[in-house]
C-alpha cells in the first residue's frame, strides 16, 4: 500500500522547512519545478546559512587569530564559536578535539598521513570495508606505498551489509586501525559502528569513521560511539562547501605530528628549527575558509532546531514510497539492509543509469547516476553503476509521486 502525505508525522512541518530553502522553488524548465533528490552528493542550504556567509564579508571580514584589531576580534570570535557549536553538537569532550578541514576527504587524508607516519610500520594492517567511498580507500593505498602496511577489506553481503563474521576474523594484533563508513553513500546502509569500535579496541586498534552520510540523518554522539576519529563535511549537513570536521580524541591528536606546515600551526620558528602549536591549531595551517566556517556554525544551529527523529520518520516514509515506485517499474534495488537511511540505489537490465538520469532531469528530477565513488562496491554487485535518489527532510511525498511518474515515463521511452 502506498504511503500518503496524511500518514506523515503531523508535528513535522515540511512546508515550513521548505520555505527556508529558496533554491527549492527553482523551475528547471517551463512547467518543471525542481525535485532535488541528490542530497547524498550535497544538501541545499537554508537562507540563514547563506546570509551568515554574506554577513561575514559585509561586517566581519578579517583574518582570524593573532590580530588585535576590532574586525579580527569579531572574525575570530565567530570562527571559534563554530568550533564550540560543533563540539557540543557531536558530543566531543572538549572543543580542542574539533579540527576544521576542507572536507571529509582532507580529514581522512590528514589522519592517514599523520597516523601513518607515527604509528604504522611494515607488516601492520589497516582494515577498511568493501562499501567505502574512494576517499576512505585511496589514502590508505597511498600510505601502503610508503609504509609497507597491508590494507584488508570487510566484505559486503548480498543485502548490502558488512560481513561482521569475516570482520572478526580479519582482526588481529597486526591491526592498527579500522577505517569504515558510518552510512554507505551508495546503499544507505547504517553500519554497526559501536560493535566495530568495541571489537577493534579489543585488539588495540584505533577506529576512524567516515560520517559524511550519517550526519544529515541522525544525531551523532562521538563519545557514545567510542570512536577515535570521526570525520564529516559541512556541505552534506546544509552548510557551505569547502569546510569539514575532523574529531579526534585528545590523546591521539596530541600524539600526531603536523599534517601541513605554515601559519597558525607553529609555536616558535627559527631558521634552524620549528616547534609546533597544540591541537587543534597544529592541524590548521594557513588561512582557513573563515566565511565558510562561520556559516557552518549557522547550519549547526539550524539543525539543532530540527526534530531529527521526526525527520527520520518522514525520510523513511519517502524512502518506502519511492522504493515502491522503483519496483513497480521493474528496477532492482541495490542495498536492501533493514537498517538504512533514505538513500535508494537502483538499476535495470534494460537501460543504462545515465539514460534514466537524463530523462528524469528533463522532468525536473535531480538524481545521481554512476558509481558514486564506490567502484569496488559496484564490482561486488557486478554492475557499472546505479541511479541514486537520496532524500532530505525537506523533500515531500508529492515529489516522490512526481519522481514515480517521471520514472514511468522514462521506462516507456527506453523500452
Ordered DSSP codes for 320-342? HHHHHHHHHTT-EEE---SSB-S
CA 81 from centre of chain: 22
Count CB-CB contacts under 10 A for residue 415.
10
Across 11-38, b (16+ Cβ under 10 Å) vs e yields ebebeebbebbeebeeebeeebebbbbb
Given a contact cutoff of 8 angstroms between Cβ atoms, the answer to whether 64 and 72 are in contact is yes
Model pTM?
A: 0.96
Helix axes 290-304, 70-90, angle to 10 degrees: 40
- The DSSP string of 175-241 is EEEEEEESB-TTT-BBP-HHHHHHHHHHTT-EEEEE-TTTTTTS---HHHHT-SEEEEEGGGGTS-S
Domain ranges of the chain: 5-42+307-414, 50-304
* Tens digit of pLDDT at every position of the chain (415 positions): 344 333 433 458 999 999 999 999 999 999 999 999 999 999 999 999 999 999 999 999 999 998 899 999 999 999 999 999 999 999 999 999 999 999 999 999 999 999 999 999 999 999 999 999 999 999 999 999 999 999 999 999 999 999 999 999 999 999 999 999 999 999 999 999 999 999 999 999 999 999 999 999 999 999 999 999 999 999 999 999 999 999 999 999 999 999 999 999 999 999 999 999 999 999 999 999 999 999 999 999 999 999 999 999 999 999 999 999 999 999 999 999 999 999 999 999 889 999 999 999 999 999 999 999 999 999 999 999 999 999 999 999 999 999 999 999 999 999 8
**CA quadruple 183, 189, 194, 199: dihedral sign:** negative
pLDDT of residue 6: 37
Q: Please identify which of the residues 255, 306, 373, 383 carries the catalytic annotation.
A: 373
Phi then psi for residue 231, to 5 deg, are -130, 145
pLDDT of residue 109: 98
Contacts of 238 (CB under 8 A, 6+ apart): 43, 44, 45, 46, 49, 216, 299, 302, 303
**5-42+307-414 is classed CATH 3.90.1150.10:** yes
Longest dimension (CA), the chain: 73
- The DSSP string of 29-77 is ETTEE-EE-BTTT-----HHHHHHHHHIIIII-S--SS--SHHHHHHHH
pLDDT of residue 11: 57
Is 4 buried (19+), middle (13-18) or exposed (0-12) by CB count in 10 A?
Answer: exposed
Given a contact cutoff of 8 angstroms between Cβ atoms, the answer to whether 40 and 187 are in contact is no
For residues 338 and 364, what is the distance between their CA atoms, to the nearest angstrom?
30
pLDDT of residue 367: 98
For residue 162, what is the DSSP state?
B
Strands 368-370 and 274-276: unpaired
**50-304 is classed CATH 3.30.420.40:** no
SS3 171: coil
Task: Give the residue among 349, 370, 347, 369 at the shortest CA–CA distance from 357.
Answer: 369
Given a contact cutoff of 8 angstroms between Cβ atoms, the answer to whether 248 and 228 are in contact is yes
Given a contact cutoff of 8 angstroms between Cβ atoms, the answer to whether 64 and 76 are in contact is yes
pLDDT of residue 66: 84
Q: Is 351 a catalytic residue?
A: no
For residues 372 and 313, what is the distance between their CA atoms, to the nearest angstrom?
25
Is 158 buried (19+), middle (13-18) or exposed (0-12) by CB count in 10 A?
Answer: exposed
pLDDT of residue 12: 80
Is 320 buried (19+), middle (13-18) or exposed (0-12) by CB count in 10 A?
Answer: middle
Amino acid at each position: 500500500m502506498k504511503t500518503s502525505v496524511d500518514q506523515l508525522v503531523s508535528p513535522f512541518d515540511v512546508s515550513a522547512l521548505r520555505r527556508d530553502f529558496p533554491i527549492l522553488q527553482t523551475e528547471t524548465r517551463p512547467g518543471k519545478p525542481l525535485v532535488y533528490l541528490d542530497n547524498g552528493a550535497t544538501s541545499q542550504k537554508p537562507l540563514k546559512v547563506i546570509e551568515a556567509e554574506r554577513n561575514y564579508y559585509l561586517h566581519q571580514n578579517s583574518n582570524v587569530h593573532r590580530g588585535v584589531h576590532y574586525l579580527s576580534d569579531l572574525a575570530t570570535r565567530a570562527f571559534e564559536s563554530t568550533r564550540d557549536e560543533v563540539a557540543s553538537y557531536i558530543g566531543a569532550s572538549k572543543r580542542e578535539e574539533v579540527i576544521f578541514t576542507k572536507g571529509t576527504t582532507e580529514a581522512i587524508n590528514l589522519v592517514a598521513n599523520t597516523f601513518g607516519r607515527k604509528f604504522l610500520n611494515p607488516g601492520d594492517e589497516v582494515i577498511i570495508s568493501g562499501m567505502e567511498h574512494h576517499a576512505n580507500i585511496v589514502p590508505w593505498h597511498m600510505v601502503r606505498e610508503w609504509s609497507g602496511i597491508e590494507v584488508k577489506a570487510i566484505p559486503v553481503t548480498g543485502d548490502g551489509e558488512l560481513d561482521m563474521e569475516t570482520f572478526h576474523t580479519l582482526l588481529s594484533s597486526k591491526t592498527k586501525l579500522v577505517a569504515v563508513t558510518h552510512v554507505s553513500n551508495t546503499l544507505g546502509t547504517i553500519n554497526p559502528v559501536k560493535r566495530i569500535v568495541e571489537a577493534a579496541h579489543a585488539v588495540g586498534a584505533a577506529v576512524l569513521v567516515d560520517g559524511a552520510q550519517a550526519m544529515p540523518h541522525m544525531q551523532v554522539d562521538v563519545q557514545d560511539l567510542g570512536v577515535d576519529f570521526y570525520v564529516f563535511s559541512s556541505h552534506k549537513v546544509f552548510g557551505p562547501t569547502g569546510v569539514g570536521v575532523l574529531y579526534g580524541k585528545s590523546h591521539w591528536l596530541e600524539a600526531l605530528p603536523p599534517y601541513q606546515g605554515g601559519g597558525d600551526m607553529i609555536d616558535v620558528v627559527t631558521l634552524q628549527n620549528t616547534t609546533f602549536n597544540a591541537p587543534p591549531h597544529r592541524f590548521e595551517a594557513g588561512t582557513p575558509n573563515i566565511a565558510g566556517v562561520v556559516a557552518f556554525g549557522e547550519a549547526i544551529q539550524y539543525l539543532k532546531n530540527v526534530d531529527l527523529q521526526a525527520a527520520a520518520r518522514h525520510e523513511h516514509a519517502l524512502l518506502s514510497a519511492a522504493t515502491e515506485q522503483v519496483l513497480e517499474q521493474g528496477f532492482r534495488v541495490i542495498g536492501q539492509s533493514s537498517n538504512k537511511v533514505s538513500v535508494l540505489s537502483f538499476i535495470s537490465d534494460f537501460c543504462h543509469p545515465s539514460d534514466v538520469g537524463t530523462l528524469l532531469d528533463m522532468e525536473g528530477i535531480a538524481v545521481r547516476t554512476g558509481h558514486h565513488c564506490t567502484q569496488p562496491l559496484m564490482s561486488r554487485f557486478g554492475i557499472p553503476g546505479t541511479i541514486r535518489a537520496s532524500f532530505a527532510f525537506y523533500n515531500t511525498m508529492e515529489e516522490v509521486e512526481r519522481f514515480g511518474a517521471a520514472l514511468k515515463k522514462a521506462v516507456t521511452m527506453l523500452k
